[in-house]
């Protein structure tokens, strides 16, 4: 059976880029965060192998990034190398894959948003 891409949502904040790989009942989850890319792989509840490789728009701090798995998704909190610099897109290439979408429910302007961002990261870390 061929690999498929996991549906991926993302949004930008002053210090972090958040990505959510939407996979229910995931098993064999592997997240490899590097300074210029992320590689995500797992199997879904039906046993289908999912694989995403994303070259980031800009350099990130992989040492200060983390991921968290829940029953419906795997969320990555990726620390930007240059804070307070908006990313117009997640990927290095200016081509949007069909499986990648902006998470408009969480997207917002940044004014006064740093405290909220920090609280959100701490909440997920628990």
Q: What is the CATH classification number for the domain harbouring 20?
A: 2.60.40.790
* 87 part of a folded domain: yes
Residue 88: which region, alpha, beta or left (left: phi > 0; alpha: psi -120 to 50)? alpha
Which residues span the domain enclosing 20? Answer: 8-125
* 3 part of a folded domain: no
* 86 part of a folded domain: yes
* 1 part of a folded domain: no
pLDDT for the residue 71 = 86
* 113 part of a folded domain: yes
Residues 63 and 45: their CA atoms lie apart, in Å, by 30
* 46 part of a folded domain: yes
Number of domains making up the chain:
1
Average pLDDT over residues 5-25: 95
Residues 43 and 48: their CA atoms lie apart, in Å, by 5
pLDDT for residue 72 is more than 60: yes
pLDDT for residue 124 is more than 70: no
Average pLDDT over residues 45-64: 95
* 111 part of a folded domain: yes
């Amino acid at each position: 059976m061929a690999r498929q891409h996991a549906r991926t949502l993302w949004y930008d904040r002053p210090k972090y880029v958040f990505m959510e790989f939407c996979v229910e009942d995931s098993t064999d989850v592997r997240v490899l965060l590097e300074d210029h890319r992320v590689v995500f792989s797992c199997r879904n509840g039906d046993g289908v192998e999912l694989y995403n490789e994303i070259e980031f728009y800009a350099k990130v701090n992989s040492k200060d990034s983390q991921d968290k798995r829940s029953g419906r998704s795997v969320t990555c909190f990726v620390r930007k190398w240059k804070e307070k610099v908006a990313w117009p897109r997640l990927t290095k290439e200016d081509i949007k894959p069909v499986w990648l979408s902006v998470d408009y429910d969480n997207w917002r302007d940044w004014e006064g948003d740093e405290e909220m961002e920090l609280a959100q990261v701490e909440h997920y870390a628990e």
